[in-house]
Amino acid sequence: MGWLCSYKNIDIHRSQKVFHKKKFTDKLCEEIPSFSQFLEEYEWLITDIELFRSEWIHRMVGGGKMYSGGNKSGPTGEVSIMIPIDPTVDKLKGMDYVKRIEELKEANGTWLYTLEEFTNRFSLGTKHFVLDCLNHVLNHEEIIRKV
C-alpha cells in the first residue's frame, strides 16, 4: 500500500506497508479517520489473505491439493482440487487434524473450499476492498477541499 503512504506522507518501512500490520493501519487511521470503519468491515478479508498467503503461497506454493468430498469409492466420492477452509489444518497431526476437520464441517457444512469458491471469495472480496478503499480516499479528499 505504498501509494497510500505516499499520498498521506506516512513514513514507515516498506515491510510495514500492509493492511495486516498495526503500525500501518494506526498511521492510516490518524490521517484518514474513516479508515477505521473500513478496516473493521474488511477485517475478515485482511486476516484471511494474510493466513492463506503465509501458509499456501510461502509454504505450499499454491495450496490446492487433491481431496475427496466423500468416500472415494462411494457414490459421493468426488475427487478434485480443493482448499481447506482453515489454511493451517494440514499442519495438524492425528486426532487434532480429525477434530479440526469435524469443527469446520460443523460450522460450515464442509471443511474444504472448491477451487471456484476459494477464487470467488478472494477475487470478489478483493475487488470490493480496493474499490471501497479508493472511495474512502476520494471522500476524504472531498471533505478536505470543502474545509
Q: What is the pTM of this model?
A: 0.62
| Residue 136 vs residue 69, higher pLDDT | 136
Q: Under the phi-then-psi rule, with left for phi > 0, alpha for psi from -120 to 50, and beta for the rest, what region is 63?
A: left
Output the nine-digit C-alpha cell for 46. Answer: 485482511
Residue 65 main-chain phi, psi, to 5 deg: -135, 170
pLDDT digits 0-9 by tens, 114-131: 878 888 888 888 888 889
Cα of 140 vs its chain's centroid, Å? 25
* pLDDT given for residue 50 in this prediction: 85
What are the extents of the domains in the chain? Answer: 32-146
